[in-house]
Structure 1
Amino acid sequence: MLLKTKGIFAFILFLVTISSFGQALYKETTKINDSVDYYLEIALFNKEDKNSFNKAIIYTEKAILFAKANDLEPKLADCYLILGGIYYDLQKPEKAIEHFIRSINIYTKENPNPNLALSYYNLGKCYLEQDKQELSEIYFKKAASIYQEFEFYDAIELINVQKGIIQKNKGNFLEAEAIFKKAINNISNQDALADTKVEAFFQLGEIQFLNNNFSAAIEHYNDALKLNEQSIYNIALEKKILKKLSRAHNKNSDFKKSNEYLERYVKISDSISQFYSKYLSENTFEKVEFDKQLETIENLDKEKKNQQKTLRFSKLISILSIALISILSLLSLSLYKNNKIRITTNKLLKDKNRELTKEKEKVEKASKARAEFLATVSHELRTPLNAINGITYLLLQEKPKKSQLNYLNSLEFSGKYLLNFINDILEINRLESDKVVVEKISFNLNELIENIKVSFNEFIVTNNISYVQNIDKSIDYNIIGDPTKLSQILINLINNAIKFSKNGEVIFSVKQQKAEDNLVTLDFEIKDTGIGIPSEKQKDIFESFSQGSVEINRTYGGTGLGLSIVKKLLSVLKSDIELTSEEGKGTQFNFSLIFEKGNNLPKVETEVTNSDSVFVGKSILLVEDNKINQMITKKMVEKKGMTCEIIDNGEDAIEHLKSNSYDLVLMDVHLPGINGTEATTEIRKFNSEITIIALTAISLNENREMLLSFGMNDVVTKPFIPENFYDTMAKYLTKA
């Protein structure tokens, strides 16, 4: 349970932000700072007063763009700090951590200030919420040291209570109890930190509750409840205390008291405000309707008076007046009834919309939970899979016995299969997150298609496939589009065609449909003579984890994700795919894509070099805390004739590189204490030349840009494919 910061930190941030403006800046710069402050003020207003987090994020990002455009680094740090706080309130700790780290990286370039302490404190809260208590302690200590330097003793007391919660969670009850009692003695009942004192009483009760000393727990809970009612009256705190009081009395067999506190808890939880707002809105409507009716009656009275006057002059006018009044009355009645019907209909529509909104939120939550679960499982599988694939590769390189070779080949196949499965899950997850960006890169279509064919050569021979490529010769120019996504689509479709057409034929065709001005439309066709797809399965074949049948899965393998990825990628590229298939006769896939025309660039002949000679004699520093990963990576490095030094934490790596030089650094991202990104930022302060390659088990597509922004040269994901690992290293060692 985390203690929520309130006025003291907002006040500190406000004072420091305001005091930083106007010092050592020209008048023009002051106007720019005021513009950044203006955006941040609007963002904080929307978050605190209107609970509009969307607008808060929009205005904070506007402030970030403004600060970047005008090279205002201190202001940029303030923006990242506020944006991190918004994401923390939205219960997105990962996003919050990212922005707090960005603010810390900028603040640490200057002299220590309270905003740096606030960033450290918030980072500690995020890690505590993720149950990473050791990390949270590190950052709380950093924050406390800065607040001690600035003599912000109230802020230190908040941090002490957080440390007490950490000790309680670790089971160090005596140490935690001492911290909470000290906080209670140091904070007065009328202090701005009175809610901190309430929390300290509550945590003392929690310790007694965990020790099954329910009478003592009740006493502390009552102290918290009494102080809350006398000084701050925080409804959220009161609900929390009442709930625990009910449980403590229940455990103490005082069921009457338990029921009383439970009733108080339920009473507070009832949506009284909603009831009264609804009541007032309905009565307001009735009042409006009554006023309308009253106005109608007054009009009728006026008409009657006019009628009495007109009776003196003419009978005919009197009859016409009566008729007119009757007509007006009927119209009024008709309007009234229509209005009632409209109100009833609107109410029904609002109720239905409310129900649909709730259902939509449920579906979105379920989808988000599924995505987070798949991402977490895939991430957790990568570390042990890196060990499996790495050790298998090393054993195969050591000339195993013939009797062992089959086992190792099977293990290598299973590891690659599992890695492809994990990558497919992450790709589906990424495509469904609506965060996919379509690139515009100039590339040679013929070279891309030829590279894909080369990658399938062994698979084609193994399945005895007659593979034919028909590429329109009129496409004699480069095209501009997204080659990565096009490759993914073609690889999935061609792979399926080869897999399901053993001893058959696969024909891949590309034709130019039309060329207008600077745009060209290309038709792609992949046709095979394989097993085909039953008609009843064709409508579901593009769904995730869908295959023709259980027998097909057992015979040919696969995850059933390839066609789903193809469908989603084409949707991102504003296109669709057509399927024509007959069981036992084969399958044909067709799709069209629009590209921009590029220049006719000459083909560059790549120089083939002896890759092993690039590695020999090079020195590598490996920063990695996992012992198995240390062993595997070091073996793979030394296999190519390089030397490898291992350091298991970021702090020592920074100090070591100040007095030692290497040709390349392999930096694990997730390290104890200072992580890989922070370590890289520190190294770049004194060494901007050395090559640093990130090693990470997270999804490359989602995090590559973020990692590169901290000063890393490249990224290799775990479990890494040996060829890709060596190619990435060779790219930089060649330049060294």
Structure 2
Amino acid sequence: MIFNLVNKKIGKKSLLLLCIVLCIQFTFAQSDGNSTSDVKAIFNEFMQYRHENKVDKALETLNEAANIAERNEDSKLLLDTYHQYARLFLEEEDRETAIFYWDRASILLRDTSYSYGEAFHLYLDAALRYGEGNNFQALKQLEESRKLSNNRNLTNNILLLEASIYTNIEKYDDAVKNLHALIVNSDDKERAYLATRANLQLAKISVTLDDFEDGIIHSKAALELAEKHGFSKEIKIAYEQLSGIYEASGNYDESLVYAKGLAQIKDSIFNVEKAKLDANAADKIRFDHQMNELNKLQAKNEELSESKNRSEITAILTSAFLTIISLLAVSLFRNNQIKLKTNDLLYTKNKELELARDAAVSAMQAKTNFLSTVTHELRTPLYAVTGLTHLLLEENPSEHQKEHLKSLKFSGEYLLNFINDILQINKIDAEKLEPLNIEFKLHKVLDDVVESLQQNAHEKKTKLILDYDPTIPKKLLGDPIKLSQIFMNLVGNALKFTKNGKVEVLAKMLKKDEDQVKLYFEVRDNGIGISEEQQKNIFESFEQGSIQINREYGGTGLGLTIVKSLLGLFGSSIHLESELGHGSSFYFEMDLNYETKEGEEISFELNPEDFQFKGLHVLVVEDNKINQVITKKMLTKKEISCDIANNGNEAIDLAKKNTYDAILMDIHMPGISGEEATRQIRKFDKNIPIIALTAISLDDSLESFYEAGCNDVVTKPFKPEVFYQKIGENIFRSKMEGSV
């Protein structure tokens, strides 16, 4: 009925024309639908090849999509294709080609309204900036990209790139948050691939944070996914990570298993041939596209030459232009051939350099580990030497025995100082030192240094004077331990080379802001001085000016090197002024924050004579039998009784059953460490003083001891007076604070 009505209204001819138009439109719509379906299939193929690291196949599929886009004059499809070219070459670390396609996409975007294309363009721009090290600019571009499109796949890729940037700038919590979201992602295109990359990145972060167990879990999860889906590049990365993590955690058998697997992957003929094939395919695709641009220019010129208004001069110029283009094309082809050969040569040389670099790093690590092990292991027998020497000196030896024992004591202390210097230099070389930022009293730090070295000054018949500016705030924020080390080395050095003279320690305030002060420090003497020639190398390791000086005055020649390195941690530098025969002056400036609120202060300063050791009962946690005997005898000298725990588990049990005035906790023990034992004790006893007794190694950190719950730290082998002082201070201060 409707057809009859239309027939009457518009006539048969008009109706026939309308039917033809509708058929044509239907045919084109069907054709467009098929084209869209073909393109979708091509991009799905490309994604699979990209994930499997089949670069040559991926490039072929993109080339097919680009041809369809150009035939249909589909600028959006061509834009998407250029973007995928750029991403693929960026992942293959060919930035030059990636930027080539990114620029082509930029030109298309000028005349195309396409929000997803703009969003992806910004995502690629962020990736390029991240590769240049511009992390914060990259984050800004990703934020802009996120605003333009809510495409799920693009959002997930933004999360992955953000996680890499956060890792770079050490915002690990934000990175981990992104990566955990990707592990459980529901992406319809790259679910397994994104989860694999997320696990690899989480493993890398875990290793950075010394969580080897978590690193192994994520690496194995990534390896399982990669092997299941054929992600060859990710399989190789997972093998590398697992080999490295197992080696770092001391599980060398497992490390060797994955190292062998990695070697098989790297050395396989397939991988070598594939790398060459991928490079050739990439260069061929780029060359084809550049030739395509030249062909377009040539066709345009031919079209112009056939126009009615062409002139003879235009024809001549066109011919010349085409000749130049042809020459350029030939030159470009030759250059590509040269580039291929050069790339092969560079690949070989890079491999050689990588092997040399790995060998150098291994040698440095071996040296560091060796020095750390030696210095740590020497402390245990040295503790027996110094401890027994002290006990023998306390037992009223005869005069000729006393002379020998004093020599033995001096030799032990000299050897201890040398070991401490070696360990300090080793920590600095391994970048294991980090400055603390805690509240301290600068005047007390300097006063303690001066007081501890007064005996050396008396022996040298030298005056040791502290000139302290009273306007310096009482409470500063910084690292009192490292400051004390700096001044111990500078003042000790000055006293060593000054006889019958004067050594001055100066502390002045140069500037005071709202919460920060700039301080000036100087240690000067009127000793033997340093010549201009010697000043050039005085801060280098094992340098003391000359062999004669080293033989006459002794020492390791490491003190000033340590001072220079420690000041570097504070962003400061040491300066020297000296004249031979007229003394030396070492000075530096330092910025320190200070506590602006000066509240009421209750003093808990104690003198050694205030300590009433008699009747105290302590727990000694020590696995070494000789050390147990020595420590117990040293406590008995002060009428302090003690119980002995051979390991951390015994210490926890005894601390639960008995009441002690303090616990002397060894850190390095079989089973659970002293740090872990301290944490367990702190769960049921928050107040008992716990003093760590440890031969500090390269990986130890005083900060970690305090975080575990230790009140103080005494390094073995220790001087008896320091040992008693620490026990007295912590027990009686604890009691005084409790009563207050």
Fold-level similarity (TM above 0.5):
yes
Residue matched to 1:561 = 558
Aligned partners of 2:181 and 2:684: how far apart in 1? 35
CA, structure 1 residues 377+52, in 2 after alignment: closer, same or farther (shift >3 Å)? farther
* Aligned counterpart for 2:624 among listed residues 619, 623, 626: 626
* Aligned counterpart for 2:284 among listed residues 278, 284, 287: 287
Q: CA deviation at 1:335?
A: 6.0
1:453-487 deviations in Å (ceiling 9; x for gaps)? 22221111111224444444554655443333222
Matched, 1:449 2:446: yes
1:343-373 deviations in Å (ceiling 9; x for gaps)? 8888888877766665554443333222211
Aligned partners of 1:688 and 1:42: how far apart in 2? 41
Q: CA deviation at 1:583?
A: 3.0
Correspondence 1:287-326 to 2 at 5 A = 287-288=284-285, 291-292=288-289, 295=292, 298-299=295-296, 302=299, 306=303, 309=306, 315=312, 317-326=314-323
Of 534-543 and 435-444, more deviation after overlay is shown by: 435-444
Correspondence 1:26-425 to 2 at 5 A = 38=180, 41=183, 49=196, 55-58=202-205, 82=217, 89=242, 91=244, 96=249, 270-288=267-285, 291-292=288-289, 295=292, 298-299=295-296, 302=299, 306=303, 309=306, 315=312, 317-330=314-327, 332=329, 359-425=356-422
What SS does the aligned partner of 2:453 have?
Answer: helix
Aligned partners of 1:518 and 1:464: how far apart in 2? 41
Residue matched to 1:70 = none
Contact 1:46 1:55 in 2 (8 A): no
Residue 371 of structure 2 aligns with an amino acid whose one-letter code is L
CA, structure 1 residues 709+92, in 2 after alignment: closer, same or farther (shift >3 Å)? farther
Is the radius of gyration larger for structure 1 or structure 2? 2
Aligned partners of 1:595 and 1:312: how far apart in 2? 81
Q: CA deviation at 1:400?
A: 1.1
What SS does the aligned partner of 1:326 have?
Answer: helix
Residue 56 of structure 1 aligns with an amino acid whose one-letter code is A
Contact 1:63 1:79 in 2 (8 A): no
Residue matched to 2:229 = none
CA, structure 1 residues 346+539, in 2 after alignment: closer, same or farther (shift >3 Å)? farther
Aligned partners of 1:717 and 1:606: how far apart in 2? 24
Correspondence 1:490-501 to 2 at 5 A = 490-501=487-498
TM-score (norm 2): 0.61
Aligned partners of 2:387 and 2:523: how far apart in 1? 35
Residue 404 of structure 1 aligns with an amino acid whose one-letter code is Q
Residue 529 of structure 2 aligns with an amino acid whose one-letter code is G
Contact 1:620 1:662 in 2 (8 A): yes
* Aligned counterpart for 1:481 among listed residues 478, 482, 487: 478
Contact 2:242 2:258 in 1 (8 A): no
Aligned partners of 2:636 and 2:440: how far apart in 1? 36
Matched, 1:639 2:654: no
Residue 489 of structure 1 aligns with an amino acid whose one-letter code is I
Residue matched to 1:669 = 667
Aligned partners of 1:503 and 1:331: how far apart in 2? 84
Residue 715 of structure 2 aligns with an amino acid whose one-letter code is T
CA, structure 1 residues 321+622, in 2 after alignment: closer, same or farther (shift >3 Å)? closer
Residue 646 of structure 2 aligns with an amino acid whose one-letter code is D
Residue matched to 1:590 = 587
Residue matched to 1:208 = none
What SS does the aligned partner of 1:541 have?
Answer: coil
1:548-591 deviations in Å (ceiling 9; x for gaps)? 12221121111111101111111111111122233333322221
Contact 1:521 1:593 in 2 (8 A): yes
Residue matched to 1:697 = 695
1:430-449 deviations in Å (ceiling 9; x for gaps)? 22333433333444444433
Matched, 1:532 2:674: no
Aligned partners of 1:630 and 1:494: how far apart in 2? 35
Matched, 1:724 2:722: yes
What SS does the aligned partner of 2:524 have?
Answer: strand
Aligned partners of 2:178 and 2:210: how far apart in 1? 5
CA, structure 1 residues 50+688, in 2 after alignment: closer, same or farther (shift >3 Å)? same
CA, structure 1 residues 389+360, in 2 after alignment: closer, same or farther (shift >3 Å)? same
CA, structure 1 residues 299+679, in 2 after alignment: closer, same or farther (shift >3 Å)? closer
Residue matched to 2:228 = none
What SS does the aligned partner of 2:505 have?
Answer: strand
Contact 2:619 2:663 in 1 (8 A): yes
Matched, 1:504 2:501: yes
What SS does the aligned partner of 1:393 have?
Answer: helix
Aligned partners of 1:380 and 1:63: how far apart in 2? 24
CA, structure 1 residues 536+634, in 2 after alignment: closer, same or farther (shift >3 Å)? same
Contact 1:580 1:588 in 2 (8 A): yes
What SS does the aligned partner of 1:615 have?
Answer: coil
Contact 1:621 1:644 in 2 (8 A): yes
Residue 38 of structure 1 aligns with an amino acid whose one-letter code is H
Aligned partners of 2:375 and 2:182: how far apart in 1? 38
1:498-527 deviations in Å (ceiling 9; x for gaps)? 111222333333343334444332222222
CA, structure 1 residues 523+58, in 2 after alignment: closer, same or farther (shift >3 Å)? same
Aligned partners of 1:489 and 1:658: how far apart in 2? 41
CA, structure 1 residues 510+324, in 2 after alignment: closer, same or farther (shift >3 Å)? same
Kindly tell me the number of residue pairs found equivalent between the two proteins: 535
1:258-296 deviations in Å (ceiling 9; x for gaps)? xxxxxxxx9987353442233113321442365257537
1:317-361 deviations in Å (ceiling 9; x for gaps)? 543432342344455556667777888888888877766665554
TM-score (norm 1): 0.61
Of 334-343 and 521-530, more deviation after overlay is shown by: 334-343
Gapped runs of 5+ residues in structure 2?
1-173, 186-191, 221-237, 736-740
Q: CA deviation at 1:665?
A: 3.2
Aligned partners of 1:561 and 1:590: how far apart in 2? 18
CA, structure 1 residues 655+605, in 2 after alignment: closer, same or farther (shift >3 Å)? closer
Contact 2:606 2:729 in 1 (8 A): no
Contact 1:699 1:717 in 2 (8 A): no
Aligned partners of 1:83 and 1:406: how far apart in 2? 63
Residue matched to 1:616 = 614
Aligned partners of 1:268 and 1:95: how far apart in 2? 22
Aligned partners of 1:593 and 1:486: how far apart in 2? 11
- Identity score, percent: 41
Aligned partners of 1:526 and 1:720: how far apart in 2? 27
Of 586-595 and 688-697, more deviation after overlay is shown by: 688-697
Of 505-514 and 391-400, more deviation after overlay is shown by: 505-514
Residue matched to 1:263 = none
CA, structure 1 residues 711+84, in 2 after alignment: closer, same or farther (shift >3 Å)? farther
1:168-197 deviations in Å (ceiling 9; x for gaps)? xxxxxxxxxxxxxxxxxxxxxxxxxxxxxx
Aligned partners of 2:541 and 2:193: how far apart in 1? 40
Q: CA deviation at 1:628?
A: 0.8
CA, structure 1 residues 581+475, in 2 after alignment: closer, same or farther (shift >3 Å)? same
CA, structure 1 residues 724+354, in 2 after alignment: closer, same or farther (shift >3 Å)? same
Of 364-373 and 307-316, more deviation after overlay is shown by: 307-316
The alignment's C-alpha RMSD in Å is 4.6
Aligned partners of 2:672 and 2:699: how far apart in 1? 24
Contact 2:576 2:587 in 1 (8 A): yes
What SS does the aligned partner of 1:559 have?
Answer: coil
Residue 568 of structure 2 aligns with an amino acid whose one-letter code is S
Contact 1:440 1:481 in 2 (8 A): yes
Of 365-374 and 553-562, more deviation after overlay is shown by: 365-374
Aligned partners of 2:285 and 2:561: how far apart in 1? 56
What SS does the aligned partner of 1:665 have?
Answer: strand
Aligned partners of 2:672 and 2:729: how far apart in 1? 28
CA, structure 1 residues 402+54, in 2 after alignment: closer, same or farther (shift >3 Å)? farther
